[in-house]
Amino acid sequence: MRENGCVPAAENAAEPQEDLFDTAVAEGQEELLDPEAAEIPEELLALAAEEEGSIALPPSKVLRKKRWTGQSVLALFLALLPMIGFLLFSTAPLVISLVALFCDVTIDWRGISFDWNNFDGFRMIFVPGFGNSTAFAQDFSSIFWKSLGITFWLGSTQFVTLLIALGLSLLIATKCRGSKLFQIVFFVPHICSSVSVAFMWKWMFLGEPQGIINTIFGTEIRWLDTTSTIPWTIIIAVIWQAPAYGTVMFKAALANVDEAQYEAASLDGVNTWQRFWYITLPGIMPTIFYLLIAGIGAGLLLYDMAALIVTDPWTSTIGGRDHMALTLMRLVYYFNDNRGADSVALSAASVISWILFLLVAPVSVWLYSRREKRAEG
What gap in Å lies between CA 300 and CA 329, rounded to an integer?
A: 8
The model carries a pTM of 0.74
Neighbouring C-alpha atoms within 13 Å toward the C-beta of 110: 4
Domain spans of the chain, in order of start: 15-63, 73-122, 140-376
Pairing type for strands 111-116 and 103-108 reads antiparallel
Task: Find out whether 234 and 325 touch, Cβ atoms under 8 Å.
Answer: yes
Look at residue 116 and give its three-state secondary structure. Answer: strand
Q: What is the pLDDT of residue 316?
A: 52
Q: What is the pLDDT of residue 146?
A: 93
Q: What is the pLDDT of residue 31?
A: 47
CA 207 distance to own-chain centroid = 37
pLDDT, one tens digit for every residue, the chain (377 residues): 444 444 444 444 444 555 555 555 555 554 444 444 445 555 555 555 555 554 444 554 445 556 778 888 888 888 888 888 888 888 888 898 999 999 988 777 777 888 898 999 999 999 998 888 887 878 899 999 999 999 999 999 999 999 999 999 988 888 777 777 888 888 888 888 889 999 999 999 987 767 889 888 888 888 998 899 999 999 999 999 989 899 989 988 998 888 888 888 888 888 888 888 989 998 899 899 899 989 998 999 999 999 999 987 654 578 888 889 999 999 999 888 887 777 888 899 999 999 999 998 898 888 888 878 877 76
What gap in Å lies between CA 117 and CA 285, rounded to an integer?
A: 47
Read off the amino acid at residue 372: E
140-376 CATH, one of 3.30.200.20, 3.30.70.580, 1.10.3720.10, 1.20.1440.230: 1.10.3720.10
Burial 182-199 (b: 16+ CB within 10 A, else e): ebeebeebeeeeeeebbe
Q: Using CA atoms in the order 29, 32, 36, 37, what is the torsion angle rounded to 10 degrees?
A: -10
Q: What is the pLDDT of residue 47?
A: 59
DSSP states of 345-371: HHHHHHHHHHHHHHHHHHHHHHHHHHH
Q: What is the pLDDT of residue 313?
A: 65
56 burial type by CB count under 10 A (0-12 exposed, 13-18 middle, 19+ buried): exposed
Read off the amino acid at residue 51: E
